[in-house]
Structure 1
Amino acid sequence: MAGVYNPVFYVEIFSLSFIADQNLAFYLLPILQAANILGRLVPSFFADRTGSLNMVVPALGAGCVLSFTWIGVVNEGGVIAWAVFYGTFFGLVQSIAPTCVVALTDKVQLLGTRLVGPAPYILKLGSRQGVKLVTGRLTNSSFVQGICFAIGSLGILVGPPIAGAILNDTGRFLGLQIFTGVLISAALGFALAARVAKVGWGMRKL
């Protein structure tokens, strides 16, 4: 999380250095977020068949490549294409990465412990994934992400400000781009290590 959100914060500022039409530069974030929709929908369809972690590992690999290719983007067409590709990756990580917690959990009871509260409310605590408030006869529910996202939120809290400090200190985007690429590379290493520790190198659903 400390790495993947950096382009979301800085892609518009980055593009202002070579895009003559400033209005177009400020549309880059909506373009990235529109591609985010594609990244949320299509990979989720395949993740049901391959497993969530098996989708996240190559996605993080693509994120590494995209982070370092960001260094070579120097024109209007390039930054638009890059925003589309990165937005797709960003959407995939946002939607599928949380389900890896479920895939890696052997004991299902660690994902949720039901505490009976005053009717018609039932509070369901997920010690790893989050907190679920179920109303009525389990027909309506709202899911509030828990410990998994509490930890991830710290990355979002510190990552973009550190990237901004690097940009202010150097006056160039190169350090910010390398910082982003290194963090996503580290995430790839951890995700791959988790997969290998769980099922080995073989082609197994996870």
Structure 2
Amino acid sequence: MIEIKYAGKICRFDDEGVDPECPGTMYGPLLRGKFYEHAFLDYIASLQIPGTYLDVGACIGTHTVFFALCCPSDRVYAFEPRSVAMQRLRRNLELNGLESRVETSQWALSDTEGTVDVRLDRVNHTLHTRRLDTLVKGPVAVIKLDIEGMEAQALAGAREILRNYRPRVFAEAHTEEEMAGILSVLEPHGYQATGRVFNASPTYEFMVPSTGGKR
């Protein structure tokens, strides 16, 4: 088991089967005592936004655990369609006693209910899709999305959440086309890119300026 200390909190992660000589993208930082995308998470924590957090593309749950333990969240939703990653995510929630505060889901998120064919981890998958607006009810404070180019579709399935609650949004975009797709969904709700960009896989911050202060 790996323990990461952050702001007086201890976050635990299952390391069964992890090769310390080749730990991979997520576990490499953890073995060095840091979170994956540590500076990004540090910034989100600094905002001190209370409420419900959505981790879309949660993988093994590093960000999910951070949102639940190190941010002023009252509830966290973690979405991860891959079974192997979900098993590890749920184990990490157990290690931190977070089963009652975090709701996990293996649905892929899009703007329609149906199926989508994607390639993840060099394997072709057919994923069943749902809309965020049908899966999450009530106020949402923060949405983080890292779903391999489907960020715009997932946000299009969250128009009620965006219109009613104006959460802070952090979305990955690798190309100008992906960025344009995200903006086409967010701008009608008053969102703008703040200019802040995080991570090796560029992750952009979006907010509604009129409600952009700390909550």
- TM-score over 0.5 for the alignment? no
TM-score by length of 2: 0.28
Of the two, which has the highest radius of gyration? 1
Q: Which has the higher helix share?
A: 1
TM-score by length of 1: 0.29
Of structures 1 and 2, the one scoring higher in RCO (CA 8 A, sep 6+) is 1
